[in-house]
Amino acid sequence: MAQEHIATADHGEHEATTTGLNHRKMLMWAFLGSDCMFFGSLIATYLVYQGKSLSGPLPIDVFDIPVTSVSTFVLLMSSMSMVLAYSALNRGNMKAFRIWMVSTAIMGSTFIGFQIYEFSSFSTHHIHFECSEVAEKIEHGEYVKAGHNHFYQKECLDQNGILKADHHVDEEYGLKPQTNLFGTTFFTLTGFHGAHVTLGVVWLLSIFFLSFKKGVITREKNLDVDLAALYWHFVDVVWIVIFTVVYLFGVFEGF
């Protein structure tokens, strides 16, 4: 981010502004407002196409809520360590500041790691089941995932609709961006969020390394950290929305 100061006679780190708010801080707020519309449009696209995919896999087939909950938790915790880093800086405790800063970056990277794992596991998703299991579920009126039902109809029944006993299904059922509307919208939305997190990690690490240089990041010159923190929290909040709308709503029946 650009480091700019107004050019009045009384220049310095804490320049006089009309509102008393720092220029760069205000710039950051304006940027985040703009970024809200960016994610808003991506989420709107996702919602418009929700349930409109012409073929599987659907959210219910690929999502693994416990795994994503863990990565969500890690990202939320990174916000907390960001707060701790900033407060350590304001207390002038540089050692604690660096520790919290690097742990924030590590947690951010962990989240990205989870996302990479998730993307690759979705794209190589497999479906395997015993035909008899699904038949039993259907008999009892239990919910059968769309993907399972698809292959059950295709492979477990013969021409006359009779169940093939002892048959089992093992099919590739990967989700790629090209597969269907769900893949297209899901990878685009979460991918752009991931890009935001990645940029944030680069930013946090830059500050971390700069903090070893004397006088660059200090108790008095805490604005860079403040701005990075603002950005980081924003990215976190966006994830909460995505996790709720895409993941949690996605696994409800019927979606």
Partner 1 sequence: MSTFPIAIPRPVHPTGLWNWITTIDHKKIGILYGVTAFIMFISGGIEATLMRVQLAQPELDIVSAAVYNQLFTMHGTTMIFLAIMPLGAAFFNFVIPLQIGARDVAFPRLNAFSYWTFLAGAVMLKLSWIGGATDAGWFGYAPLTSIDQNPGKGIDFWIISLQVLGVASLAASFNFIVTIINMRAPGMTMMRLPLFTWMSFITAILLILAFPVITVALIELTFDRYFDFNFFNVARGGSVVLWQHLFWVFGHPEVYILILPAMGIVSEVLPVFSKKPLFGYTTVVLAGAIIAVMGWMVWSHHMFTVGLGPVANAVFTITTMLIAVPTGIKVFNWIGTIWGGSIKINTPMAFALGFIAMFLIGGISGVMHAVSASDAQQQDTYFIPAHIHYVLFGGAIMALTSGIYYWFPKFSGRMYDEKMGMAHFWLMMIGQNVTFFPMHFVGLDGMPRRIYTYAEGMGWDLWNLVATLGVFILIAGFAIFILNMVKSWKSGPEAPGDPWDGRTLEWSIPSPPPEYNFKEIPVVRSLDDWWNTKQGGNVKEVPVAGGSGDEGHNIHLPQPSYWPLVTALGLFIAAYGVVFNQLFIPWAISIIGTFIGFVGVYAWSLEPVNDPDEDSAH
Identified binder of partner 1 from the candidate list 13, 14, 50, 52, rule CB under 8 A: 52
Nearest CB to partner 1, comparing residues 156 and 204: 204
Residues 154-183 close enough to bind partner 1 by CB under 8 A: 177-178, 180-181, 183
Identified binder of partner 1 from the candidate list 65, 116, 195, 216, rule CB under 8 A: 216
The count of residues in the chain is: 255
**From the CB of 223, what's the least distance to partner 1, in Å?**
12
**Which one-letter DSSP state was computed for residue 255?**
-
Residues 21-40 close enough to bind partner 1 by CB under 8 A: 21, 23, 26-27, 30-31, 33-35, 37-38, 40
195 is a site residue for partner 1 (CB under 8 A): no
79 is a site residue for partner 1 (CB under 8 A): no
Structural contact between residues 186 and 46, judged by C-beta atoms closer than 8 angstroms = yes
* H or E element at residue 188: helix 181-210
199 is a site residue for partner 1 (CB under 8 A): no
Structural contact between residues 32 and 234, judged by C-beta atoms closer than 8 angstroms = yes
Q: What is the DSSP string of 28-41?
A: HHHHHHHHHHHHHH
**From the CB of 155, what's the least distance to partner 1, in Å?**
23
211 is a site residue for partner 1 (CB under 8 A): no
Q: Is the preceding omega at residue 57 within 30 degrees of 0, hence cis? A: yes
How far is C-alpha 179 from the chain's CA centre? 21
Residue 126: strand pairing partners: 172
How far is C-alpha 236 from the chain's CA centre? 8
With CB under 8 A as the contact rule, which of the stretches 4-12, 67-75, 113-121, 125-133 interacts with partner 1? Answer: 4-12
**From the CB of 111, what's the least distance to partner 1, in Å?**
22
Q: What is the DSSP string of 158-185?
A: -TTS-B-TT-EEEEE----TTT-HHHHH
**Residue 151, token pair as written in the block:** 């292959």
188 is a site residue for partner 1 (CB under 8 A): yes
Nearest CB to partner 1, comparing residues 181 and 248: 181
* H or E element at residue 130: strand 126-130
Chain positions contacting partner 1, by CB under 8 A: 1-11, 16-19, 21, 23, 26-27, 30-31, 33-35, 37-38, 40-42, 45, 48-49, 52-54, 177-178, 180-181, 183-185, 188, 192, 210, 213, 216
